[in-house]
Amino acid sequence: MIRTNTSNVTIVDYRAGNLASVVKAVTALGATPEVTSDPEVVAKASKIILPGVGHFAATQFLSDRGLTAAMRSRIADGVPFLGICVGLQWLFEGSTEAPGVSGGGFLRGHCERFVTAEKVPHVGWNSLSVRPQSRLMAGVADGSYVYFTHSYRAGQQEDAVAVTNYGGPFTAAVEAGNIMGVQFHPEKSGKAGLTILKNFLEL
Amino acid sequence: MKGIQFVDLIDAGDPAALAVAHAEAGADEIVLLDITATHEERGTLIETVRRASRGLFIPFTVGGGIRELRDAAAVFDAGADKISINSAAVARPELIEEIGRSFGAQAVIVAIDARRAADGADPVRGAEVFIAGGRKNTGLRVLDWAREAESRGAGEILLTSMDADGMRNGFDCELTAMVSESVSIPVIASGGAGTAAHFAEVFDGGRADAALAASIFHFGVSSARELKTELATHGIPVRLPC
């Protein structure tokens, strides 16, 4: 098992699916996760993970509870932030999955449903084209497989550090300074996924 | 535990230890089915799920004995990523929607145990849905039930051919193709895997999006690593373990 020598990480709980696997993976890597829905706790976080499985509308909880403001403030302070799946989508301006719900707006553009003859949702392992200079993707070989399960995605954009193809290319991972996100599930992607989480935890 | 055509069950070992061993051998996903839970009116083996999930960093699906939303919640809480429902979904199809609303559609797999029709002009199109671990014929057509499961928001369909199960003579490619071409969600083929060529057949002619195997791995006939290495030579894209 690869382990990290890092400190603690705050995992934001917004009632969107199950956090157990993210908690388990970062724990196995040697971190001490703190799961919270309390904006005051988030406001003191030294690292933030926003997981997410399910519907973009669930992110409404973040603004309702003051979590958006807390995360925005911490991100502005330079704290490393990792959005996973819907957590990545939340970094954008919004998603056509829930047009009335705003995203964090840290990255330009909207997430949209796949337009493809392939089956939707996109479920399963798919390979990554990795941009070499990424801190998040360090040690992850080009062509590595990771696990996806989603119906909406962000198109290609400049901050992408990994791109996947499913009925056309889309953003699999982004990195803009301390703001990072992955559309796939690193906690479910075997060794490649654990490497990515370890990279984040060691930032 | 593993059976042949759903009977003659024999014990294959500790499920939690097997799950982790298969993951390390390169399996892409683990499905743990407590196949007699409904029949014996037991709940899911929560403690086994918890133990297995601790060492698993790939997708983990659990099925058997999930009758209500709160059963599903307990299984997710124990570390499952997806749940598979079978008998309970037939009894009350709204359960698919309820679990989907709480945990996301991607977390709900509807498992269909199918047997080709004994008579009739088209035994594949006439295939029927069985529940309670294959003990009870519902009279539902597989095709109709698969479409309903999709319309109620199932994320995937796990289609097991009872005719092929445990025979190691190959998947029921005709049945799999019929279902896979009729729905727009992924279909996982199950039942009958004996060789790597069988996997190649079900991905190709069977239009399967994924394939599940038990016997050939449990009894050491082939590891996931060997299987995938051979599939790669058939030109099928696979994730090879490091």
Q: Which helix or strand (DSSP H or E) is residue B189 part of?
A: strand B187-190
Write out chain A's pLDDT in tens, 203 residues: 455 545 589 999 988 766 888 999 999 999 999 999 999 999 999 999 999 877 888 899 999 999 999 999 999 999 999 999 999 999 999 999 999 999 999 999 999 999 888 888 899 999 999 998 899 999 999 999 999 999 899 988 889 999 999 999 999 999 999 999 999 999 999 999 999 999 999 99
Q: B46 — contact with chain A (CB < 8 Å)? A: no
The reply to whether A85 belongs to the active site is yes
Tokens in use for B58?
């790939």
Mutate which of A97, A123, A185, A198 to test chain B, going by most B C-beta atoms within 10 A? A123
| Annotated domain spans of chain B | 2-233
The reply to whether A185 belongs to the active site is yes
DSSP string for residues in B51-112:
HHHHT--S-EEEESS--SHHHHHHHHHTT-SEEEESHHHHH-THHHHHHHHHH-GGGEEEEE
Question: Structurally, how many domains does chain A consist of?
Answer: 1
**H runs (alpha helix) in chain B:** 15-24, 46-54, 69-77, 87-91, 94-103, 142-151, 173-182, 196-204, 215-218, 224-233
Mutate which of B20, B22, B46, B57 to test chain A, going by most A C-beta atoms within 10 A? B57
Sign, CA dihedral A34-A35-A39-A42, equals: positive
pLDDT tens-digit profile of B59-106? 999 998 899 999 998 898 888 989 999 999 999 999 999 998 888 778
- CATH of B2-233, picked from 3.90.226.10, 3.20.20.70, 2.40.40.20, 2.40.50.1070, is 3.20.20.70
Does the pTM of the predicted model rise above 0.95? no
Q: Which helix or strand (DSSP H or E) is residue A174 part of?
A: strand A169-176
> What pLDDT score does A19 carry?
83
CATH number for the domain that contains residue A41:
3.40.50.880
Tokens in use for B155?
């994320």
Domain that holds residue A33: 4-201
Q: How many helices (H) and strands (E) does chain A have?
A: 6, 13
pLDDT tens-digit profile of B95-150? 999 998 888 778 899 999 999 998 778 999 999 999 988 899 999 999 999 999 99
The C-alpha atoms of residue A105 and residue A107 are separated, in whole angstroms, by 5
- Report whether A69 contacts A12 (CB < 8 A): no
CB atoms within 10 A of CB A139: 13
